[in-house]
Structure 1
Amino acid sequence: MNALPHVGDKRVIDMHVHIGPEFLRRKYNAETLAAEARREGFGVVMKNHFQPTTGQVSQVRRPDDKVALVGSVALNFGSGGVDDHGVRAAISGWKSDVTAANPDSDRFVVWMPTLCCEAHLRCYNRHDVSEKWGIERKHTRFYAEGTGYTVDTDNADKTAALQRALQTIADNDLILATGHLDRDETLTVVKMARESGVKRIILTHPLFQSTKLDPETMSRLWQEYGAYSELAFVNLAMDHLTYEQYIEVIEAVGPQGVILSSDVGQTFSPNVGDALREFFGEFQKRGVAEDDIVQMSVLNTNRLLFEDIA
């Protein structure tokens, strides 16, 4: 597959690409990724583990853009943690015209915590970032046992803070992604999110070692809560996953409930366009229909960002 697929004016949207500046070495900043997206004809959600990207992305978007350039926030401790603070900060930065009274009205993505989760820290010897990802050790942080973020429904204060975050996401009809929570935490957050009125939910690379959802559970979360399962290109190499595992998810959930993303932006990973072409091409070699790839990379992602969802 040489050209990225599209359906009329709807383009591929990569819902998960990392940008700098941050402690990690990155291939892109908002401006260089926007330039590639325009040149290659894909939309993109730009992510940073340490700060909202909405301010950066809003300032590189142009009125004549034919591709979606979208910001996000990951609710790690540095971005305000799991409460409404980080969500509000991201909304504040989502303003193309800084003289305007109100932020832009379109959607962006809110990730639950990634690097500061207990589930994540258990995978990386209690450090937030692995040196294998391209960071000097002096810029990593060690978290003592029990100091990372957990979803604890027995803790009234933490539960109230989580509910404030989810309510702000619901009130602004934003997209919730589940981050690096563990299996049980992910199930709890998805259920609470729907009860709070959140309509747009992504299970962040749910085969990732901190979460480890099984295809049957992903199917149930799609059927009961409309939660999309994300399959990410970079996890194949970085987490030793296989296309056969991914195809098992597609068969269990159905293409209507899966999105394909790259999760690239590391200095050692391919450019987004090359990653997506390789990703889609390998699926086709293994018998995944082109229509299903279009469903997962074009139709589902455009629905999440731009269409009404009951």
Structure 2
Amino acid sequence: MTSTTVETSDARDCIGDGARDEEVAALLNGAVDLHCHSGPAAMPRILDHRDAMQDAEDAGFRALLYKDHFYLGTPHAKLLETIYPDLGVQLFSGLALNNASGGFNPHAVDHAIKMGAKIVWLPTLSAANHIRKAESEAKNFPKTAQKMLDPIPLRALDDAGAVKDEVKQVLDLIAEGDIILAGGHLHVSELFKVFEEAKARGVTKMIVNHPTYVIGCSDEDIRGLVAMGVKMEHSISMFVQGSGNNYDGEFLRHLIDVAGVENTCLCSDLGLRGSPRPIEGYRQIVRMLLDMQFSAKDIRTLIGDNSASLLNLAA
């Protein structure tokens, strides 16, 4: 596990805005976003999949992965790649195991993988943990544009605390497909058991989404999960201006130090109305990292290389 690399060049402190903008733009070239919330969606979005694709293309991103809480976005990604065959950015998506997909539904997961999905998120909006927190902290949770049916709480563990059989079947499919298992919005206490089971069943790509938001991870939890081979995916939306965030750069530095640069992915989690566009979020976070004296190498690892590896993109 390594800590953040620090550059101490006095010249860096004197970089003008124009030069800094160019430095940010250069670092964004080759970036990968595993958590783009574009539309169409039941949630109010500020951009659609084509807009997000074009922004990523213009910024020189290597890959973009669409996430929707209610549907498999892989056909959208494939269709856009067909319509725009000269794209420099690769488009991907996956499936969130919420009520709309049948929860822990092996048939839905099998179909998603056969369609080319690169990730399966364990329940997010339908997770019992999410529902419990949304009820107690309603003002802090985004809502759908129209009232949906009340969610049925989903848990990965049975009453005895063991991983459910249908979850095990989902894990087997993810292992066979060699795709990413994301923790969704399950509580950290569930995630430890699910990831242990996943590892035992051959899953090699695992991430925790925004571990300090909803999930409840402590520093000790993060270290324990990293020791199991799980990556930490921190949402840029929690740290950038204009998204209602409550976290500063020093907290982000701390989280990166806890897991190590090599075990951390910074992904946008942006697209909700009232927030910056995903690429603007990346510009802000790269500028923040530069201001905190992170090296160019570490920044590229955080915003691109680690995520590219999870997608099986060649180095």
Same fold per superposition (TM over 0.5): yes
- Aligned pairs (5 A) from 1:126-205: 133=142, 135-136=144-145, 138-143=146-151, 147-154=152-159, 159-205=164-210
- Relative to 1, partners in 2 of residues 1:247 and 1:220: Cα closer, same or farther, differing over 3 Å? same
Q: Does the residue aligned with 1:139 lie in a helix, a strand or coil?
A: coil
Q: Which residue of 2 aligns with 1:71?
A: 93
1:282 aligns with 2:288: yes
Residue 130 of structure 1 deviates from its aligned partner by: 6.4
Letter in 1 for 2:294: V
Stretch deviating more after TM superposition (49-58 or 59-68) = 59-68
1:23 aligns with 2:28: no
Q: Which residue of 2 aligns with 1:230?
A: 233
1:58 aligns with 2:78: yes
Q: Is the 1:52–1:89 contact (alpha carbons within 8 Å) kept by the matching residues of 2? A: no
Higher relative contact order (CA 8 A, sep 6+): 2
Residue 153 of structure 1 deviates from its aligned partner by: 4.0
Residue 266 of structure 1 deviates from its aligned partner by: 0.9
Q: Distance in 2 between matches of 1:199 and 1:257?
A: 13
Q: Distance in 2 between matches of 1:87 and 1:277?
A: 34
Q: Which residue of 1 aligns with 2:212?
A: 207
Q: Distance in 2 between matches of 1:239 and 1:305?
A: 28
Letter in 2 for 1:206: P
TM (norm. structure 1) is 0.84
Q: Distance in 1 between matches of 2:168 and 2:25?
A: 39
Residue 163 of structure 1 deviates from its aligned partner by: 0.6
1:119 aligns with 2:108: no
Q: Distance in 2 between matches of 1:201 and 1:52?
A: 19
- Relative to 1, partners in 2 of residues 1:89 and 1:130: Cα closer, same or farther, differing over 3 Å? farther
Q: Is the 2:37–2:67 contact (alpha carbons within 8 Å) kept by the matching residues of 1? A: yes
- Relative to 1, partners in 2 of residues 1:227 and 1:265: Cα closer, same or farther, differing over 3 Å? same
Stretch deviating more after TM superposition (39-48 or 22-31) = 22-31
Q: Which residue of 2 aligns with 1:104?
A: none
- Aligned pairs (5 A) from 1:287-298: 287-298=293-304
Q: Distance in 2 between matches of 1:154 and 1:195?
A: 21
- Relative to 1, partners in 2 of residues 1:157 and 1:193: Cα closer, same or farther, differing over 3 Å? closer
Q: Is the 1:17–1:264 contact (alpha carbons within 8 Å) kept by the matching residues of 2? A: yes
Gaps of 5+ in 2: 1-19
Residue 295 of structure 1 deviates from its aligned partner by: 1.2
Stretch deviating more after TM superposition (292-301 or 61-70) = 61-70
Q: 1:301 aligns with which of 297, 302, 307?
A: 307
Letter in 2 for 1:29: D
- Relative to 1, partners in 2 of residues 1:166 and 1:126: Cα closer, same or farther, differing over 3 Å? farther
- Relative to 1, partners in 2 of residues 1:235 and 1:254: Cα closer, same or farther, differing over 3 Å? same
Q: Distance in 2 between matches of 1:288 and 1:79?
A: 40
1:109 aligns with 2:119: yes
Residue-by-residue CA offset, 1:245-284 (whole Å, 9 max, x unaligned): 2211111211000001110011211122211010111122
Q: Is the 2:53–2:89 contact (alpha carbons within 8 Å) kept by the matching residues of 1? A: no
Residue 47 of structure 1 deviates from its aligned partner by: 0.5
Q: Does the residue aligned with 2:288 lie in a helix, a strand or coil?
A: helix
Letter in 2 for 1:159: K
Q: 1:254 aligns with which of 237, 254, 260?
A: 260
Q: Distance in 2 between matches of 1:110 and 1:296?
A: 21
Stretch deviating more after TM superposition (188-197 or 19-28) = 19-28
Residue 40 of structure 1 deviates from its aligned partner by: 1.7
Residue-by-residue CA offset, 1:62-101 (whole Å, 9 max, x unaligned): 453322211111111101211312212323443xxxxxxx
TM (norm. structure 2) is 0.83
Q: Which residue of 2 aligns with 1:87?
A: 109
Q: Which residue of 1 aligns with 2:223?
A: 219
Aligned CA RMSD, in angstroms, stands at 2.6
Aligned length: 288
Q: Distance in 2 between matches of 1:290 and 1:6?
A: 7
Q: Does the residue aligned with 2:223 lie in a helix, a strand or coil?
A: helix
Q: Distance in 1 between matches of 2:201 and 2:43?
A: 34
Q: Is the 1:13–1:302 contact (alpha carbons within 8 Å) kept by the matching residues of 2? A: yes
